Amino acid sequence: MATAVKVTVVYYSATGHVTDIAREIADTAEKASAEVRLRRVAELAPQEVIASQPAWAANVAATAGIPLATVEDVVWADAVLMGSPTRFGNIAAQLKQFLDTLGGAWKRGELADKIYSGFTSTGSPHGGNESTLLALMHSFHHFGGIVVAPGFTHPDKFVDGNPYGTAHHDAGGTVPVGDVTRNAARVQTERVVRLAKALTAATL
């Protein structure tokens, strides 16, 4: 019997939009028969700042049961999907902090030859979703990763229109993750799992 491909979903989210995408990705990967680890990265913001923003506090409470990401979660995986809200056109510091813990694994060559793919959420439709996804890819290239972007490989991609990865825009926190974003996440994940299966079959 073929071994299930191993997928790790690593994300940061303050107010929950990226959490929703991460959960959709994890569910889709499981439905595609992958073994999945859903992991959030550690929060860096002070507790009083979080508590002063209801959406942020609600997301922290709702995701308390999701384990914190470790270096081993990335080393373990055949495919890694990473997500972050857009912060000034870039990834959030919390995810960057986690990326910076990967130096030892990188040096040992343990991050190479895996599939990597990214997802994000922005406040506005042109607020930097593409630059955030491309910023994630900077690190993926350093890892020696195989970057799998969704491209326009499925009819749904002509609806959300982002070939670099799944990107929601929340219109200033007023638009929850809906069908367009969920469909994009499913297309991206199914492609990642399919190619991870091919890659692991080729290298076993």
Q: Which is nearer to ligand FMN, 85 or 145 (CB)?
A: 85
Least distance between ligand FMN and beta carbon 40 (Å): 11
Closest CB to ligand FMN belongs to which residue?
127
Q: Which is nearer to ligand FMN, 117 or 200 (CB)?
A: 117
Which of 188, 200 has the CB closer to ligand FMN? 188
115 near ligand FMN, rule: CB under 6 A: no
Euclidean distance between CA atoms 99 and 145, whole angstroms:
14
Measured in degrees and rounded to the nearest 5, phi and psi for residue 203 equal -105, -10
Angle between helices 17-31 and 179-203 (to 10 degrees): 50
Print burial letters for 29-46: b (CB count within 10 Å at least 16), e (below 16): bbebebebbbbbbebeee
Site map for ligand FMN, 127-166, x if CB under 6 A?
A: xx--------------------------------------
Q: Two tokens at 121?
A: 């959420």
Taking residues 74 to 93 in sequence order and writing x for each that binds ligand FMN by CB under 6 A, - otherwise, the string is -----------xxxxx----
Question: How many residues interact with ligand FMN (rule CB under 6 A)?
Answer: 19
Alpha helices, H only, the chain? 17-31, 47-51, 54-62, 71-76, 93-99, 103-107, 129-143, 157-160, 179-203
Residues at the interface with ligand FMN (CB under 6 A): 13-18, 85-89, 121-124, 127-128, 170, 173
